Amino acid sequence: MTDLTDETLLSPVTPVMSPGAGDVPPIALQETPRKEPPGSDTTRTVVFDVQDLSVRYGDHLAVADVSMEIRKNEITALIGPSGCGKSTVLRCFNRMNDIIDIARINGRISYHGVDLYGKNVDAVEVRRRIGMVFQKPNPFPKSIYDNVAFGPKIAGFSGDMDDIVRDALERAALWDEVKHRLKTSAYSLSGGQQQRLCIARAIATHPDVLLMDEPASALDPIATLRIEDLMQDLKRDYTILIVTHNMQQAARVSDRTAFFNIRVDDEGQRTGYLVEYDRTGTIFTNPNQQATEDYITGRFG
Ligand code: ADP
C-alpha cells in the first residue's frame, strides 16, 4: 500500500509512484488514532471525517446534514430509500461530483486530516487514492491485461507491469480464472468476472479507499456472493464504502451502516439527510430512531 502524505495529495501533478516497498516516501503518515469516549467500540484510525456535508444540484438541495466518521479497514454501508442521496454522498468522497457542473458541495470532508476540497488538493491524485467501482461493470474495450495495466501506466508506475497486473487480479480473486487468457477482450468475461476485473482495475493504482456504488445489483446471486466474499478479503487492506439498496447485503457485509431518509419541505422539495449512523448490528437490531426501525423492518421504502 502507498503511504499517505500531505505532500503527495497536494501535489499539483500526479506523482510518479512505484508500488515497491522501498519507494515509500519518508514523511510520516498523518493518521492519528482517534481517542474514543469510554465504552466506545473502536480506536481505529479515522480515514474520513465528514462535517455538515450538503450537496445542491442547481437550486435543489439534494442531501444535507451529513456528519460521520469513516474508519480504516472497515466496510461502511450507505442505505436508504431511492433518491435519499446515497450515491451523491458516495461521490463526494473522491470528488466525482466535481465533474457535474451544477453540483455544489458545502461542509467539510477531511481525509487523513487533509481538507479533501482544499484549494491545493489535486483531484486526480484524490481519485487514484480513492478508487470507485460502479453499479454496472464498465471494463474498457481492451484486453483483460490492458484494463488492469491502464491506471498504473497513466500514473507512471515503475516496476514490472506483469507483476502489478497479476497482483491486482489475485487480490480481486480473478487471477485463476483469467491467467491463461489475459490478452483476450474483457468483454468475453461474465458479468461477475467483469465486476471483479473493475475491482482489479481500481486496486491496480494502489488506492487506500474503495467506493462501491451498488456493485452487485446487476449480478446474479452467486456472483453477488463472490463480490461480498471478496469485500471481506479486501477490507484487510482497504477501507470500503458501499451504497446498496439491498438491506440483507448491508447486514451481511458491513461493519457500520448509515441510514439516510428523505424529508419534503412546504414547496415539495425532497432532501435526503442522515438519520442514524452506527455499528451495523445496532442499526439492524436496536436502532435509535423510529424511522430506521420502520425502514429496516420494511414498513417503508
Ligand atoms: P440515491 O443514490 O439515494 O438513489 P442520488 O444521490 O442518486 O440518490 O440522488 C439524490 C437526489 O439528487 C435525487 O433527487 C436526484 O434526482 C438528484 N440528483 C442526483 N444526481 C443528479 C445530477 N447529476 N443532476 C441533478 N440532480 C441529481
Q: What is the pLDDT of residues 43-102, one digit of tens each?
A: 679 999 999 999 999 999 999 999 999 999 999 999 999 999 999 999 999 999 999 999
**Which positions ≥6 away from 255 have C-beta within 8 Å?**
71, 74, 75, 76, 235, 279, 280
H helical segments located in the chain: 6-9, 86-92, 123-129, 144-154, 161-171, 175-178, 191-203, 221-234, 247-253, 280-285, 290-296
Q: Is the pLDDT of residue 33 over 60?
A: no
**φ, ψ of residue 101 in degrees (nearest 5):** -50, -45
Q: Residue 9's pLDDT is what? A: 59
- What residue segments make up the domains of the chain, in order of their start? 6-296
Ligand 1 centroid – CA 88 distance (Å): 6
Output Rg (C-alpha) for the chain, integer angstroms: 19
- Please indicate whether residue 7 or residue 89 has the higher confidence score (pLDDT): 89
Q: Residue 20's pLDDT is what? A: 31
Report the nearest atom of ligand 1 relative to the CA of 91.
6
Ligand 1 centroid – CA 296 distance (Å): 22
**Which positions ≥6 away from 43 have C-beta within 8 Å?**
33, 34, 35, 36
- Residue bearing the CA closest to ligand 1, atom 13: 83
84 CB under 6 A from ligand 1?
yes
Ligand 1 centroid – CA 3 distance (Å): 33
- Residue bearing the CA closest to ligand 1, atom 10: 85
Q: Which residue has the cell 446498496?
A: 244
Ligand 1 centroid – CA 83 distance (Å): 6
pLDDT-above-90 percentage for the chain: 79
Report the nearest atom of ligand 1 relative to the CA of 272.
10
| pLDDT, tens only, 100-127 | 999 999 999 999 999 999 999 999 899 9
231/190 Cα distance (integer angstroms): 19
| pLDDT, tens only, 181-197 | 999 999 999 999 999 99
Q: Residue 42's pLDDT is what? A: 57
82 CB under 6 A from ligand 1?
yes
Q: What is the pTM of this model?
A: 0.87
| pLDDT, tens only, 124-180 | 899 999 999 999 999 999 999 999 999 999 988 889 999 999 999 999 999 999 999
Query: Which grid coordinates are listed for 8?
Result: 503527495
The third-level CATH classification (topology) of the domain covering 6-296 is Rossmann fold (3.40.50)
18-32, 93-107, 151-165, 210-224: least confidently modelled range: 18-32
Q: Residue 179's pLDDT is what? A: 98
Ligand 1 centroid – CA 245 distance (Å): 14
Query: Average per-residue pLDDT in the chain?
Result: 87
